Amino acid sequence: MEKETLAIRLQNERTKHHEHSVPLYLTSSYVFDDAEDMRAQFADEKEGEIYSRYANPNVQELIDKMAVLENAETGWATASGMAAVFTFFGALLQSGDHIVSARSVFGSTHRLFTEILPKWGITTTYVDFDDYEGFENAITPATKILFLETPSNPGLDIIDLEKIASITKRHSLLFAVDNCFATPLLQRPIDFGADVTIHSATKYIDGQGRTLGGLILSSVEIIEKVKAFARHTGPALSPFNAWTLSKSLETLDVRMERHCKNALEIATRLEGHEAIECVKYPFLKSHPQYEIVIKQMKKGGGIVSFELKGGLEAGRKFLDQLNLFSLTANLGDTRSIATHPASTTHSKLTSEQRLEVGITDGLVRLSIGLEHIDDIWEDIHKALK
Ligand SMILES: *Cc1c(COP(=O)(O)O)cnc(C)c1O
C-alpha cells in the first residue's frame, strides 16, 4: 500500500472488543504470568513490555507507522524532539568523539552541541550548509556522526542529501538528518542515503499544537543502542501523547497538501512585493537551491520566510500589525504563525552572529496554516501596508 494509506491503516492488533480506533493503554507496568515469565523477560530471553519506560502499545504503534513512512527498519519515540536529538547522540557517542554539523541548526540543538555535549568531551565542528568540501575537510579520525537539517529552521537552506551521503559512506560515518520541516510525506532522507532520521513530532506530525513528541528512525542495529540508552535514562513518550500523534498521522497527508498549497500561493504573492527584499520558499524557482529541492522534496512544505526592507524595526512592526496570525514559538500548526527570529529566538546573538546562521534582522518566518488562503493573504497584505 501507499504511505498515505499506511499512515491511516497501520495499527495494533485489536483487543477482544474489536474496537475500530486504537484504545489508549494508560498503564505504567505490565503483569507477568509467573516468576519464570518475569525472570525470562528481565533476562531479555523473552519478549515483553515490562514497564512503560521500556515499551507501550501506543508508543510502539507510532514508532511502527513512522518507521514505515520513513523507510526505516525500526525506531524509538521520545517525549520531545530535543529528547530524540539528545538520546541519539547520547546513545551513539563516547567521550572524545566528534560531530560534524551544518551550521544552521535548531536553537536547542545548537546549545546541545556547544554547551551540553562538551561536558562529556564530545565536540562539534560547524560547516556552512553549501560548503560540501568543508563537510569533508571537517572530518577527523574522531568523527562519528554527520548531522544536518534540510530545509533548515528558519533559513530554509537546502542541503543535497545524496552528496552528503557519498561523503559519509566514504568515511564510514553515521549520517543523521532532522527531517522536521519536510515530514516523511515530502522527503525521506533514508532514500537518499541517510542512516538516521530524527523528528520533532511536536510540529507537523501532531500538526495541531497539542503535544510534544520526538522520534529516531534507523536500522535495528542503531535502534538497539538507542534503546539501551533510553530505557535507563527515561526520555519516554507518554502513551497519551503517542496515541494523539498516531491519530494525527491519519490526517498528515491531507494537512500537508493544504499547508504546501497555501504556502506556495503566499510565497508567490509575496515575491516582488514592494516592502520585501526577498522571499524564500523551497518550491519557488528563485530558491537558490531549487535544483536540489526538486530532486529530494515532493512539495515545498508549510514554512515561508522573507526579508523585510526595514530591518529589525520593520520586523517587529510587521508582527504587531498581524491579526489572524498567532505570535507563538511553535510551527506546523493548523493555525498560521509568525515569528521574527532577530528580536526573539536569536535576540541574544549579535547581528554578525545571526548572519552566520542565516538570520538577517528583517527576516520573518511564517508557518502557513490551513485557514482559507484569502484570509491568510489579507492579514499579511494589511500588515505589510
Ligand atoms: C522544534 C524543533 C526541534 C525540537 O523539537 P521539540 O519537540 O520542541 O523538542 C528540533 N528540530 C527542529 C528542526 C525543530 O523545528
Q: What's the confidence (pLDDT) of residue 85?
A: 98
Categorize the per-residue pLDDT at 347 as very low, low, confident or very high, splitting at 50, 70 and 90.
Answer: confident
- Ligand 1 touching residue 184 (CB < 6 A): no
Which of 19-28, 218-227, 311-320: highest mean pLDDT?
218-227
SS3 339: strand
Atom of ligand 1 nearest to the CA of 84: 9
Q: With 80 as the cut, is the pLDDT of residue 357 above it? A: no
pLDDT value at residue 155: 87
For residue 160, what is its C-alpha cell? 543535497
Residue among 84, 60, 111 at smallest CA distance from 197: 84
> Is 82's C-beta closer than 6 angstroms to any atom of ligand 1?
yes
Half-sphere exposure of 147 (CA within 13 A, CB side): 27
- Strand-strand pairing, 196-200 and 174-178: parallel
State in Å: Cα 110 to ligand 1 middle. Answer: 11
> Which residue has the least CA distance to atom 5 on ligand 1?
81
Q: From the CA atom positions of the chain, what is the Rg in Å?
A: 21
Domains, the chain, ordered by start: 13-251 (3.40.640.10), 252-384 (3.90.1150.10)
- Say how many CA atoms lie within 13 Å of 154 toward its Cβ: 30
- Best mutation site among 88, 180, 212 for ligand 1 pocket (most ligand atoms within 8 Å of CB): 180
| H or E element in which residue 208 lies | none
* CA gap 173, 46 in Å, rounded: 33
pLDDT tens track for 71-114: 999 999 999 999 999 999 999 999 999 999 999 899 899 999 99
* Identity of the amino acid at 312: L
Q: What is the distance in A from the centroid of ligand 1 to the CA of 192?
A: 22
For the stretch 297-327, pLDDT in tens is 999 999 999 999 988 899 999 999 999 999 9
Q: Ligand 1, from 101, 148, 202: best to mutate by most atoms within 8 Å of Cβ?
A: 202
Task: In whole angstroms, give the CA distance from residue 114 to residue 127.
Answer: 14
Ligand 1 pocket check for 10: Cβ under 6 Å:
no
Please identify, by atom number, the ligand 1 atom nearest to the C-alpha of residue 181.
13
Q: 70: left (phi > 0), else alpha (psi -120 to 50), else beta?
A: alpha
Site to substitute for ligand 1 among 153, 303, 328, most atoms within 8 A of C-beta: 153
User: From the CB of 79, is ligand 1 less than 6 Å away?
Assistant: no
Return the C-alpha torsion angle 256, 257, 260, 266, nearest 10. Answer: -130
| Cα distance between residue 283 and residue 291, in whole Å | 10
Question: Measured between alpha carbons, how far is residue 146 from residues 16, 91, 98, 124 in Å?
Answer: 47, 15, 9, 10
